[in-house]
Chain A
Amino acid sequence: MVNTANDRKPNKWWFILLLAPFIGVLWVPFFNRVDPQIWGVPFFFWYQFLWVVISALVTALVYFMATPQPKPARRATAAGVRHSRGNTP
């Protein structure tokens, strides 16, 4: 099991991406405007709603790319295969 953890050395540089939401929503002059509107919704609102989605996706991306993943699925399959083989005469 030790080598599964070392399979892929996670790249910590992915964490830089997590700064993006901070820049995106804290620099107020950039988004404090009415236009362009979408379906009558001022930019101020849809821009920040958009960042809710982007921020969640970025966090998910960093989770998958930069943190070592245990691989329960593969382990389970391997064990399952071994088990069924063992039972076959």
Chain B
Amino acid sequence: MNWTAFTVFIALFAVVTVLGFIASHWRRGDLDLIDEWGLAGRRLGTFITWFLLGGDLYTAYTFVAVPALVFGAGAIGFFALPYTIIVYPFVFVVFPRLWSVAQRHGYVTASDFVRGRFDSQPLALAVAVTGIFATMPYIALQLVGIQVVLAGMGISGTGFVSDMPLIIAFVILAAFTYTSGLRAPAIIAVVKDLLIYATVLAAIVVIPIELGGYGKIFASVPASKLILPEPPTGSLGSYSAYATLALGSALALFLYPHSVTGVLSASSRRAIMRNSALLPAYTFLLGLIALLGYMAIAAGVGDMPAFTSYFKQYGPNFAVPALFLATFPSWFVGFAFAAIAIGALVPASIMSIATANLYTRNIHRIYFQPNCTKAEESKVAKIASLVVKFGALAFILFLPQKYAIQLQLLGGVWIIQTLPAVVLGLYTGWLHRHALLIGWAAGIVTGTAMVASLGFSTSVYPLQIGGLTIPCYAALASLVINLVVTVVFTWLFNVAHAKSGSDATADLDYQEAMP
């Protein structure tokens, strides 16, 4: 048990807990309204939105899993960089339109928008359910981030007592999310970032000095891991895998409910545009964090006897904690581990809020309590956020970790199927509501089948096209099927004069309001 590290860790965790509770007083609003609880009153400016989205998208799990992938599999893990580069030009163009139409019609979720645009209850339900199912395992994975750093401080093993710290962390998270809503992660994100930036800056300066410079680090990485392996003849090999993983992930990222919540809580569409140019700062940071995977290889943490049992239990995910333990003094290990654990609280909180918003607005209010008041709506959302979080906790405590990882893999494949309705829907109402639903189903089924055929171990499916093997991210391949089906059926429904819904939105709703 590493007491110095643990003391620093607890102290920082305590500070954040206090902040989470007093956040409810910040820019005070009536937390009995879902707009206030679940979107912080849509009043977050460019600056806070930057911290919020940064904490939301670049999760603790990312900070553990990306270097772990680089450590274990090599350069392919670097796809996180092109992924988080190209996502921003896309967001810059598309998502201000979502913000504007949501602002004008009071939409809280993507499903709200789809319902207004396409006038289809089943389609809106499909979007909501997809969002909930894609996010749940993601919340569970944030806990893995906390678990790994707790283990690094000597708290691990089996049984109820060893799970206590994780349970306590989660109860705290649940409590401040319940009382403060989105304001809590918004405030905590600022603190978390200061810790993360300090940790990463220290890591990229101190560790290379100890290891003899960047040249030496890269020189000690085996050639097979340093760059992508040359594709064999008749296949596009790792090249198409790398590019499709980046593109597919980028298209999927902002369809996740927690991203939509981050976008809609901004105070203006301009705040989103500015953030598209500012958020790449986190991408740079992520790239540096990915390099920690190589530093872990160079430091040889995988062969250190002290860490053998941890690597056996946590796999490559233990690479970064091991690297920190091997290079930093205890107090700084505590600091760095607190950064990762707090980094898990922010997205877990936003994700549970986003899922709660979806459940409340698009399932509960529609199917169970059509006449609920604003206050009841907010109350249901708060309770739903608790249910979601304890569901995720139970998932991690009682099921093998690999299920969460596999489901999160599938989550990306599922959430991208809402792209035609949500993203294309921002531009055109031409797509037919029934066609969108059929396309969605086709995408979900084929995408899931692809991942299932690979034994749920990877989401890169080897497409066979005219004798050429194209390893492709299943999300992207199934999205293409979804799009083709949607367009063909739209045409068919139009030919058959099937009734399309009445569009509640007008073209001007998507644009900036003129002063």
Which B residue sits closest to A58, measured CB to CB?
A: B89
Known contacts A52-B284, A52-B287, A56-B278; is-contact A42 B92 (Cβ 8 Å): no
Within 8 A of A (CB), among B264-283: 270, 273-274, 276-278, 280-281, 283
Q: Cβ of A40 < 8 Å from any Cβ of B?
A: yes
Known contacts A52-B283, A55-B280; is-contact A32 B228 (Cβ 8 Å): yes
Known contacts A5-B514, A59-B89, A63-B92; is-contact A41 B214 (Cβ 8 Å): yes
Contact: A34 with B88, CB < 8 Å?
no
Known contacts A52-B280, A52-B287, A56-B277; is-contact A25 B81 (Cβ 8 Å): yes
Taking a contact as CB atoms closer than 8 A, the residue among A25, A29, A39, A56 that contacts B214 in the complex is A39
Which B residue sits closest to A72, measured CB to CB?
A: B515
Kindly name the residue among A2, A27, A33, A52 whose own CB sees the greatest number of chain B CB atoms within 10 A. A52
Q: Cβ of B126 < 8 Å from any Cβ of A?
A: no
Stretch in B215-223, B358-366, B426-434, B486-494 touching the partner:
B215-223
Alpha-carbon distance between A1 and B513 when the two chains are bound, in angstroms: 13
Within 8 A of A (CB), among B223-246: 226-228, 238-240, 242-243, 246
Residues of B within 8 A of A40 (CB): 213-219
Alpha-carbon distance between A59 and B291 when the two chains are bound, in angstroms: 26
Contact: B214 with A4, CB < 8 Å?
no
Residues of B within 8 A of A25 (CB): 81-82, 85-86, 246
Within 8 A of B (CB), among A27-83: 27-29, 32-34, 37, 39-42, 44-45, 48-49, 51-53, 55-60, 62-63, 67-68, 70
Taking a contact as CB atoms closer than 8 A, the residue among B89, B217, B247, B270 that contacts A26 in the complex is B247
Contact: B515 with A59, CB < 8 Å?
no
Q: Cβ of B512 < 8 Å from any Cβ of A?
A: yes
A-B pairs with the 5 shortest C-beta distances?
A40-B215, A25-B82, A18-B89, A56-B280, A60-B277
Q: A22-B86, A59-B276, A68-B512 are in contact. List 17 more A-B contacts (CB 8 A).
A: A1-B515, A25-B85, A26-B86, A26-B246, A28-B242, A29-B239, A33-B227, A34-B226, A34-B227, A37-B215, A41-B218, A44-B78, A49-B81, A55-B85, A55-B86, A55-B89, A56-B88
